[in-house]
Amino acid sequence: MFQAAAKTFSVAPTASVCRGILSSIRQYCKKTPTKLRVSEALSSAELGANVKVQGWVRSVRPQKANLFLHVNDGSSLQSLQIVAGSELCDPLLTFGSAIEVTGILKKSPNQKQPVELEADQIHVVGGCNPVDFPFKIKERHGLEYIRQFPHLRCRTNAFSSLLRVRSEATTAIHSYFKENGFVQIHTPIITSNDCEGAGELFQVEPSGPEHEEGENFFSVPAFLTVSGQLHLEVMSGAFSRVYTFGPTFRAENSQSRRHLAEFYMVEAEVSFTQSLEDLTKVMEDMFRSATEHVLAHCAEDVALFHKHVTPGHRDTIDAMVKRRFPVITYSEAIDILNRSSQKFTFPTDWGCDLQTEHEKYLVKHCGNIPVFVTDYPYDLKPFYARDNQDHPKHTAAAVDLLVPGVGELCGGSLREERLDLLRARLEEVGLEETYSWYLDLRRFGSVPHGGFGLGFERFLQCILGIDNIKDVTPFPRFSHSCLL
């Protein structure tokens, strides 16, 4: 039996059989098109291939014999042109509708676009009524208008570009820390610590009939974190370089263009350092590395903002990445402000906290590039900032990075590693018992260390030139806002 089977399969196929097999293969390949993202199709890598593209219609132009569409799937600022016969026109094929297109990818005769897709099938996956849709096909909508539709604004060119930039900036920051030997730590979102000492906390309490009012779920009051710094300090007792990148929360009753109730912070801690220069080097290198990465990988998206939102801002960005950041002390900053002919709303006496108007003036004074301000008054800084023990002007080893258009971007300090001084400071503010664990960090293998935090949304504002912080986050949370 096996010999007979072997003889059957040993017979050579005829030419007609071969042609039939090849024809079947071609038909099979034609029926199973290669699925491409729009960005992949625009790269021209699959010219001549039978492909499938899925996305949303950005424009519709029906003609007597042909139908022209532009489709985008969020992978690129540029859309892919679809060319089809008029017989494929569907009443549901409107601006905003979701579609699936198959056809042959060809070189476009139009010099403004590299390729186009000659469609043989168009399937409407989800319809969209263009009359009710808040974004209109031939209108350019401002950021303030699209902010009214947080559930739909990702479908606009401006906000989809913003989200691609935000994603790439996130990758750039993680890459910088990885390449420089930092260990990522996932610090807790629920905590009992008020790291900043401002008291602007969201308290966390369980709900439901089983919870008794006044009873603490964690045995102590719990809050949404305002910073991961103190937990990073714990880790800096075992790792010389650590960082975290996650959400933080502030219960500020403000609807200004500068405030969010939920935002993202990049925080780092460096052990075995007694120099602010070590911190400023990390801040500056990270800023420059992340900015250059975004400019290189999101050139079209960044250009959209620099052209239509903040014309001329690209020159400011180029200056930031090319020039070293100057360093001035707080005392020098106060002297600069007091010598200015500009009238400020807030006072500029030594010992006052620098306000946004002061920070922006200092940036312009220093050439409209980022500037470090160091050695702030000791009383302005939290308990963990290292005491410079100087007189008569008592300062702390703290530093802020001020940037154009935003003001403060980073804030950091050397940490007080001397047990006696730290205990005295905690006793002074009545927190010695609460932070007894923090004192333990100084008792067992303590080393000089320091760290900083960077507001991620402010970083995006800085490089794109966006004025309102609510326009650089997917779902802005602020006081009296409606949540999705």
131, 123 in Cβ contact below 8 A? Answer: no
**Rounded CA separation 241/184 (Å):** 9
**Rounded CA separation 293/176 (Å):** 10
Mean pLDDT of the 140-159 span:
92
pLDDT digits (tens, 9 = 90+) for 453-480: 999 999 999 999 999 999 999 998 877 6
Positive or negative, the CA dihedral 353, 357, 363, 366 is negative
Structure tokens at 65: 């014999």
Q: State yes or no: pLDDT of 26 exceeds 90.
A: no
Q: State yes or no: pLDDT of 228 exceeds 80.
A: yes
pLDDT digits (tens, 9 = 90+) for 186-220: 999 999 887 655 558 888 888 877 777 767 777 78
Model pLDDT, residue 8? 45
**Rounded CA separation 104/116 (Å):** 9
Which residue, among 163, 191, 410, 174, has the nearest Cα to 280 in the 3D structure?
410
Q: State yes or no: pLDDT of 121 exceeds 50.
A: yes
Structure tokens at 92: 């549901």
Ranges for all domains in the chain classified under CATH 3.30.930.10: 154-206+217-471
Q: How confident is the model at residue 256 (pLDDT cuts 50, 70, 90)?
A: confident
Model pLDDT, residue 360? 96
pLDDT digits (tens, 9 = 90+) for 164-187: 999 999 999 999 999 999 999 999
Q: Which residues contact 382 (CB under 8 A, 6 or more apart)?
A: 195, 196, 197
Which residue, among 227, 236, 224, has the nearest Cα to 267 in the 3D structure?
227
Q: State yes or no: pLDDT of 254 exceeds 80.
A: no
| Homologous superfamily of the 34-126 domain (CATH) | Nucleic acid-binding proteins (2.40.50.140)
Percent of the chain with pLDDT over 70: 92
Model pLDDT, residue 206? 83
334, 346 in Cβ contact below 8 A? Answer: no
Q: How confident is the model at residue 112 (pLDDT cuts 50, 70, 90)?
A: confident
Q: State yes or no: pLDDT of 3 exceeds 70.
A: no
**Rounded CA separation 332/340 (Å):** 12
Q: State yes or no: pLDDT of 5 exceeds 60.
A: no
Model pLDDT, residue 9? 43
pLDDT digits (tens, 9 = 90+) for 63-76: 988 999 999 999 99
Model pLDDT, residue 382? 93
pLDDT digits (tens, 9 = 90+) for 261-299: 999 999 999 999 999 999 999 999 999 999 999 999 999
pLDDT digits (tens, 9 = 90+) for 11-22: 556 666 555 665
Note the CATH architecture for domain 154-206+217-471. 2-Layer Sandwich (3.30)
Model pLDDT, residue 384? 95
Q: State yes or no: pLDDT of 35 exceeds 60.
A: yes
354, 343 in Cβ contact below 8 A? Answer: no
Ranges for all domains in the chain classified under CATH 2.40.50.140: 34-126
Q: State yes or no: pLDDT of 1 exceeds 50.
A: no
Question: CA 262 → CA 145, 251, 334, distances in Å?
Answer: 22, 9, 32
Question: CA 133 → CA 15, 73, 355, 471, distances in Å?
Answer: 59, 18, 42, 20
Model pLDDT, residue 207? 80
Mean pLDDT of the 307-333 span:
94
Looking up tokens 């970083």 gives: 459
Least confident of 27-31, 254-258, 419-423: 27-31
Mean pLDDT of the 378-404 span:
96
Q: Using the CB atoms, write b or e for 434-443: b if 16+ within 10 Å.
A: ebeebeebbe
Model pLDDT, residue 218? 76
Structure tokens at 121: 């099938």
